[in-house]
Structure formats: structure tokens, C-alpha cells
Copies of this chain bind each other. A is one copy, B any other.
Amino acid sequence: MTQSCTLAIDAMGGDYGPSVTVPAARKVLQRHPELRLILVGEQAALEAALAGTSEADRRRLTIHPASQIVGMDESPSQALRYKRDSSMRVAINLVKSGEANACVSAGNTGALMATARYVLKTLPGIDRPAICTTIPCRGGRFRMLDLGANVDCTAEHLFQFAVMGAVLVEAAGDSADPRVGLLNLGEEEIKGNDQVKQAAQLLQDSDLQYVGYVEGDNMFRNVADLVVCDGFTGNVALKSSEGVAAMISQYLREEFQRNLLTRMAGLVALPVLRALRRRLDPRHYNGASLLGLRGVVVKSHGGADEVAFEQAIETGRVEAMEAIPTRIDARLGELFARGAVE
């Protein structure tokens, strides 16, 4: 029997709101007959965006009204205090009440994290939730956390991140025994700051498959399924990578546009360039997980288009089906029982 699953979509979030979220939602529905989606936002706007939806699809698409929208630049505290009927908050409330198994939002990260943390609370034993995403690397992909929720982290925080991330990698089917690495500025044991060195000790003593320190360049050589770091470093590493990739893409375009000859070469090379773009397309990796909460919350890039937002919904669906928070909770319970965490 297929398990049913309901996702709450913050339909007003992101740079494009319903013009992206609603078509993406309809696409995902068509792939998953067991799925139900609740579109949260301004009723009239959503009704309009849903025009032309088939009867059958419409039965699995509910609109849940919310009168406010959290701005992309709004501060977390502002959003918490003054936007209690925002599409973001209401979508998270639906997870809290059990009406939805996950929430997916392209709204601003700070507000989403603060609201999710306030409404859903963290799991027992988790001091701080972390943001985890999937990144392509040679011959595969890896996950990295934290990506910006926590600027300063203790060794214990890093260890908690490792436990949570490993559960996610396992549940997503990427590895039954994830290779866990700590991001560091060298591979030798003496390298790094105190937090990282102490976290290495905690990981060595755990039953996770700890593969040691991982350097920024080696991450992309498929040496770990999970790369753990503080949110400051993770954010900078992820964005630097994105920045370089964007620069190279632009250079490639510029070089092929340079003159008539290079343009002709570009036409000949088009299938190859398309294949390259597909392999690196960040849209296929969209959807970051807010881990450590008592519920599934997935954050999409604010600038996500339809394809990218579909992927974020898909990430939310998998995490809901796999009951990630329950699995993390169980894993932490085992570690508590064994005295591995305090």
C-alpha cells in the first residue's frame, strides 16, 4: 500500500510567489498519486494561479488562506512578531498540528529558521537546528551542514550536525553507512581550530564512519558523503563554489560569443555544453533541509524557478515519507542511552 503524504507549501514565498510555486506543485502532484498538497497564501491569488487545473488534481490540492507575506529582507524577529498570519508561519503551523507532514518554503532563510524553531521546537538533545544541502561532486554528490544557521559552533554542535546529517544521507538512500568528514584547512591531525579538533575526537569515538578532515577542494572529489562544518565556514564554502561555477559559465558563454567563428563552434558544441549544464544544474540540487526540528522543513532558493521549486518539494516529500525527524530522534535516543552524547 502506498503511504499517503501531505505537504504544506508556502505558496507566496520566494522571489516569484505563486507564479512559480503553483505550477511546480501541480507538476509534482502528477508524479506522485499518493501526494496531497496544501497551498498556503492569499486565496484569490492562488485560485487564479490554479485556473485550468484538472478536477482530479484539484482534489489533492487544497488552498489554506494566509493574509500576510514575509518579505525576503524581513528580519526574523519582525517576521515572528508581526507576521503571525504569513504564508510561511501558517505552513509551519500545519506541520505542528499534524495536518501536513512537511513544509516547503522559498521564503527568507532567517525568518524560516526562526519561525520553524519557535513553532516546531528542536528535538531533545539538539541545541541548534542546522541547514543541510546536497552538492554535486565528481561521480556523485555529498551533503554539507551547517550552511549558515549557526555562526559559532562548539565541538558538540558539530557532532550533533554529523549525527543528523548521517541520518539524512541514509534515509535518502545515498549510502547505508555514510562517510562523514570534517571540513578543515588541512588533512593532518594538528590542523584546525579547537572546535574542529575536539569534534574529530567525538566522531572517532562514535560509531559513525568518520573519514577524517576534508579540505575545500577534496570535497568535490567524492571523499565523503557528509561534510560537517560551522555555519560561517559552510556558507562561505557553498557560496564561493557557486560563485566560481557561475563565473566559469559566463566565461564559457563569452568565449563562444566572441566572433562568428566561435559562435559556429558553439553551435557544434551545443549538445556537449547542454550535457555539461545538466550535470551542474544547481536547480537539481535545490531544497535545503532544516535539521534538528520536530518536523520537516525544506528551504528552497528564493530565486528558484519552476524546475528548482519542484526539486525542493520533492526533497520535502522524501523527508516526510522517511520521517526524518523521528529517525534523528531515535538515533539520538540510542546515543543518549550509550552515553555518547550528553
- The smallest C-beta distance from A152 to any residue of chain B, in angstroms, reads 6
| A201 interfacial contact with B, CB 8 Å | no
| A340 interfacial contact with B, CB 8 Å | no
- The smallest C-beta distance from A73 to any residue of chain B, in angstroms, reads 8
Tell me which residues across on chain B come within 8 A of A280, comparing CB atoms: 248, 251
| A240 interfacial contact with B, CB 8 Å | yes
- The smallest C-beta distance from A145 to any residue of chain B, in angstroms, reads 14
A152 to B192 Cα, complex, angstroms: 9
Checking B185, B235, B252 against A276 with a beta-carbon cut-off of 8 angstroms, the contacting residue is B252
| A102 interfacial contact with B, CB 8 Å | no
A185-218: CB near B (< 8 Å → 1, else 0) gives 1101010110000000000000000000001111
**For window 243-299 of chain A, which residues contact chain B by CB distance below 8 Å?**
243-248, 250-252, 255-256, 258, 261-262, 264-266, 268-269, 271-273, 275-276, 279-280
Tell me which residues across on chain B come within 8 A of A272, comparing CB atoms: 255-256, 258, 262, 265-266, 269
Contact A242 B216, beta carbon cutoff 8 Å: yes
| A232 interfacial contact with B, CB 8 Å | yes
Task: Tell me how many chains of this kind the complex includes.
Answer: 2
| Cβ-closest chain B residue relative to A249 | B248
Contact B219 A148, beta carbon cutoff 8 Å: no
A238 to B215 Cα, complex, angstroms: 10
Contact B192 A232, beta carbon cutoff 8 Å: yes
| A220 interfacial contact with B, CB 8 Å | yes
Tell me which residues across on chain B come within 8 A of A246, comparing CB atoms: 217, 220
- The smallest C-beta distance from A273 to any residue of chain B, in angstroms, reads 8
Checking B233, B248, B256 against A248 with a beta-carbon cut-off of 8 angstroms, the contacting residue is B248
| A236 interfacial contact with B, CB 8 Å | yes
A183 to B60 Cα, complex, angstroms: 45
A218-235: CB near B (< 8 Å → 1, else 0) gives 111100000001011101
| A323 interfacial contact with B, CB 8 Å | no
Tell me which residues across on chain B come within 8 A of A245, comparing CB atoms: 244, 248
Find the residue from A217, A266, A275 having the highest chain B CB count within 10 A. Answer: A217
| A138 interfacial contact with B, CB 8 Å | yes
| Cβ-closest chain B residue relative to A257 | B272
Contact A216 B236, beta carbon cutoff 8 Å: yes
Given contacts A185-B148, A265-B269, contact A217 B193 (CB under 8 A): no
Contact B262 A276, beta carbon cutoff 8 Å: no
The 3 residue pairs across chains A and B that have the minimum distance between CB atoms = A216-B239, A217-B243, A216-B240
A-B contact pairs, 11 of them (CB 8 A): A148-B186, A152-B193, A233-B233, A241-B244, A244-B245, A245-B248, A252-B276, A258-B275, A262-B271, A265-B268, A269-B272
